[in-house]
Amino acid sequence: MSVKQYLCGPCLVDKGEIVGVVYCRECEEPLCGHCKQDHARIKVSKHHKLVDFADVPPKEIHEFLKNLIACPNHEKQEVVSLCKDHDMSCCNKCAMADHRKCEEVKVLSDMVHDIKVDCTGLKTVLHDLQQQSESLLEHERKHEELVYEMKSKVVSSLQTVKQKLLNMYTQLENEVLSSIADKKKVIGEKIKTNNEQSRQFLNHIKQQLAFIENVEQFGTNEHVLLLKRKIEKESVCRLKSTVDE
Ligand SMILES: [Zn+2]
Ligand SMILES: [Zn+2]
Ligand SMILES: [Zn+2]
Ligand SMILES: [Zn+2]
């Protein structure tokens, strides 16, 4: 209950905010010490039931109780009887207007007279239903968990497959690259050998040309003839066959 609800109701109208000391059930408001005295003095409120704030139900419970006993047809009337013929609760107005000829109209205060209404059976039924709905919730929770687990299992096996494929790819890549490296090495050596041979061949030709130069300059015509014959016989054939190779 909020602080506002403890303020004296009658005083709030004309005097202002004064803290209440008791609660009047009939007026449904707190009363200050002064108003409490007035209440006891005035004839109409003399018999009002004044209670401690601790005995005042919370607002929503109070409303609930009020609605529970209110007549479904007459908002301001309280239900006083049950008509078994119509299976209806009714106030005095209803009883007079609609149920005068009904055979079984029971007055509530007679029905509960001297007995405490027992809700044990109903409570048991409700508790059973509560348990059932809780176990349904639990079942669904487990179901959800299972679905979640299934998903993570699938994800993990997909990852395993992915890893295997990646490993296979890496292996393939390594094999291809190392085979290319081997071929490159072989070809490189071959090129080196060929270059060496070409260089030797070139040197040899240059040497022959130099011989011709020198013999033409320093030798006689006979020298030139002999050299020409020698080069043609020994070298040209060999050089030609080397080039062909
Ligand atoms: Zn007051
Ligand atoms: Zn009152
Ligand atoms: Zn009524
Ligand atoms: Zn009736």
Helices 120-218 and 221-230: crossing angle in degrees, nearest 10, is 150
Question: Residue 5: its pLDDT value, please?
Answer: 62
Question: Residue 1: its pLDDT value, please?
Answer: 46
CA of 12 to the centre of ligand 2 (A): 15
Question: Per-domain residue ranges for the chain?
Answer: 1-69, 122-244
**Nearest to residue 65, comparing CAs of 78, 52, 53, 55?**
78
CA dihedral 225, 221, 213, 243 (to 10 degrees): -10
Give the class (CATH, top level) of 1-69: few secondary structures
Q: Could you tell me the two tokens for 220?
A: 């006689």
- Helix residue ranges, H only, 70-118: 92-98, 108-111
Question: Residue 75: its pLDDT value, please?
Answer: 86
End-to-end CA, the chain: 115
Q: Show pLDDT as tens, one digit a residue, over the chain (245 residues).
A: 454 568 999 998 888 889 999 999 889 899 999 999 999 999 999 999 999 988 888 889 988 988 999 998 998 899 999 999 999 999 999 999 999 999 999 999 888 887 888 899 999 999 999 999 999 999 999 999 999 999 999 999 999 999 999 999 999 999 999 999 999 999 999 999 999 998 998 998 899 999 999 999 999 999 999 999 998 888 777 777 777 77
Phi, psi torsion values for 207, nearest 5 degrees: -65, -45
CA of 130 to the centre of ligand 2 (A): 41
CA of 15 to the centre of ligand 2 (A): 18
- Helix residue ranges, H only, 46-119: 59-69, 92-98, 108-111
Question: Residue 226: its pLDDT value, please?
Answer: 94
CA of 94 to the centre of ligand 2 (A): 28
